[in-house]
Chains A and B, each alone.
Chain A
Amino acid sequence: MSGWILLEELCKNRRVISLCLAIPARVEEIKYPIAIVDFGGTKREVRIDLLPDLNVGDYVLVHVGYAIQKVSQKDVEELSSIYGKLRDEGVF
């Protein structure tokens, strides 16, 4: 379960929940202390109490239903695209 993309997939089908990991998601709507976030297609409500100054469009790392940290869009896109390509091309 190492790549973020793989984790998004896991998260989507919700069969397993990692207690070590947080998954990046985009904030779509804020109804404090809850936000609707998008994990690459799957939307979920998460608690955002622990992150001050969050705006729609920000990226956050989500762990067991709450946002633990803000991350930059660049970081998320870079990782996701690299992982997607690697997987598609069967490099790993």
Chain B
Amino acid sequence: MTKAVSSRKDIIRRVSEEIRREMEGYRELKIMHLCGTHEDTVTKYGLRSLLPNNLKLLSGPGCPVCIIPDTDLQRVFYLIENEDIIFTTFGDMARVPFKGKSLFYYRSKGNDIRIVYSIFDSMNIARESKKMVVHFGIGFETTMPSTALAILDSPDNFCVFSSHRFFIPAMDYLLSLGDVRVDGFINPGHVSTITGIKAYEGVRKKYGVPQAIAGFEPEDVLIALLNLVKSIKSGDSELINEYTRAVTYEGNVKAQEVMNEVFATDDWEWRGLGVVPESGAPLKDKYGDYDALKVFEDLFEDFVEEEDVKKKACRCGDVLRGIIMPSECPLFQKSCTPKDPIGPCMVSFEGTCNIWAKYGAYI
């Protein structure tokens, strides 16, 4: 065995032992991570099994596909049903069902739905077409700068249906709800690359909850947990950056500038959280020509919201709030599976239900 390998295994063993020592005889602590990729690392490597019983690691609203509410999806479907457009989307979004239909369903019915790797691919499609190309803008601060760049450089037959949401207002809102006590957060690595550490100062000051920005390797997560436990015990609400490889205090200022140029803020709904103040990212009025809601304003006037009864028993919202784990949903791996998902948490490969099903985590 090589040195690199043994030293890494050593790190994992040493850190988890130290966490156990720190937690001995201490009250129960709940730490929440906020990113689908963190859940993947945690579940894949069985990190929860390395933690003592009085340290709970919860999964929060960190899956960008999962938190998009049904009304956005329903509007998109309504647009596709009624307009002759090319619609572009990331693949993960294309399987999310509403009333048994999905973007893949529409594609199979002959609608022009294209899966793209980036919004810049959508722009190229628009440049080669005479049709209007509408891109489904989803994702948090990590993804939003790409949409902003595209809007600033957009062909005329291109617009965006913005379902983008700012992540940090959701952390604030989650704490204000108070239905799950969160003693510490593991903050998402690549959202932080854009926003910088400074963006979390508000939440820290308001709630005094320590936060650690962590990378995605198993030892990154464990070291973040250890430092959070220490910080909670000492009573300091520290803002710890474990992910110095990619995160600075100021973040990517240029990316913040283009985001601020293009997006306004509004109170928008999140699946599981309800309406989160100032979390929505509509395009600013001056970019109305590139905003699908404005371009197709007349069509949307007749839009009527519906409910998907199939999802009534789905507890995705509770999963996203950290109230339950997937195995506590009665449908998990019964009527809801990755092959035949009911809720978006089972569709998206960044969704907690999907990750648990994939790695067989049923505890």
Contact = CB atoms under 8 A, between A and B. Distances in A.
Interface stretch (B72-80, B97-105, B186-194): B186-194
23 contacts: A2-B41, A15-B91, A16-B92, A17-B92, A18-B350, A19-B350, A20-B36, A20-B188, A20-B190, A47-B146, A49-B258, A50-B254, A63-B142, A63-B190, A64-B146, A65-B120, A65-B146, A68-B142, A69-B246, A72-B245, A79-B217, A82-B4, A85-B5
Interface residues of A, number: 37
Contact of A49 (B5, B40, B149, B188): B149
A35 interface: no
A20 B64 contact: yes
Given A16-B349, A19-B143, A20-B36, A65 B190 contact: no
B59 interface: no
Contact of A61 (B62, B91, B188, B190): B190
B92 to A, nearest CB: 7
A22 interface: yes
Contacts of B255: 50, 68
A91 B41 contact: no
Contacts of B119: 64-65
Contacts of B65: 19
Nearest to B145: A50
Contacts of B245: 71-72, 75, 79
Contacts of A47: 120, 146, 149
B1 interface: yes
Nearest to A76: B245
Contacts of A82: 4-5, 8
Given A2-B217, A82-B5, A92-B218, 13 more contacts: A1-B37, A1-B349, A2-B40, A3-B216, A16-B349, A17-B90, A17-B91, A19-B142, A68-B252, A72-B245, A79-B245, A89-B2, A92-B45
B186 to A, nearest CB: 13
A63 B9 CA distance: 29
Interface residues of B, number: 49
Nearest to A20: B37
Interface of A: 1-4, 14-22, 47, 49-52, 61, 63-66, 68-69, 71-72, 75, 79, 81-83, 85-86, 89, 91-92
B216 A21 contact: yes
A63 B64 CA distance: 14
Contacts of B157: none
B340 interface: no
A72 B5 CA distance: 22
Contacts of A83: 217
Interface string B105-146: 000000000000111110000000000000000111011011
A51 B90 CA distance: 24
A52 to B, nearest CB: 7
Interface in B246-275: 246, 252, 254-255, 258
Interface in B328-363: 349-350
